Amino acid sequence: MKLHRFITDFERWGESRLLVTNPAVIHQVTKVLRMVSGDEFVVVIGQGEEARVLISDDSSKKVLALDICERFKVAHDPRRMVILCAAVLKKESFEWVVQKATEVGVHSIIPVLTERTVKTSLSYDRLEMIAREAAEQCGRTTVPEILPITKLDALLADGFDGQTYWADTTNEVAGANGKQTSGAARVFVGPEGGWTDAERALASAGKYLPLSLGDTILRAETAAVIATYKLLNS
């Protein structure tokens, strides 16, 4: 039987016991899943490492005591650091981007304000929860960070030490013949309606590599996930 899996903060008590104090996780385990002392699940205990744990004490509403039964290494974390710089979309669309980009292996996500951005606020608590649950579901031991909303021009001028890609429907930015590399990378994906000419000019001045997403017209959220996947698997 497949065990439930959680990524959460915890305190160590000796070498073989963990104390979980996260109220949301305690509620999920004891109230939603109705697990009790003696039941087992899996918890991430470090990057690339998990443990099968047994509930040893569920009597407190504030602390869940776990005994470590077995430790094991996992290899589901992405091997390349890809940062997704995605234009802020409407609530449901951006939540979908966070969920699916996490599943394919994004390192972090930077919401971007562009000239055509309509929505200018996000619920970070909910996005962080979505990223954590997606990481738990797909087997990752790391959860992508959702960074603060940043204006496009400020982000383009921040001196990122890596290769920057520009997802667009045209080849009107510099470096059209540039080759993808396997090092750290970030990719910019625009809003519904695409980039403006002024924004394309910024990319051209920065000599960013265009990233082709195919010949069809994609929704912004679809483009964000495909761009992330392409760079992670290039």
CATH class for the domain made up of 5-73: mainly beta
pLDDT at 165: 93
User: CA-to-CA distance for 62 and 96, rounded, in angstroms?
Assistant: 32
Structural domain spans, the chain = 5-73, 82-232
Q: What is the DSSP letter of 177?
A: T
36-54 pLDDT per residue, tens = 999 999 999 888 888 999 9
**Interval 116-140: pLDDT, tens:** 988 888 999 999 999 999 999 988 9
Q: How far is CA 213 from the centre of its chain?
A: 20
- Give the homologous superfamily in CATH for domain 82-232: SPOUT methyltransferase, trefoil knot domain (3.40.1280.10)
> Mean pLDDT over residues 47-66, rounded?
88
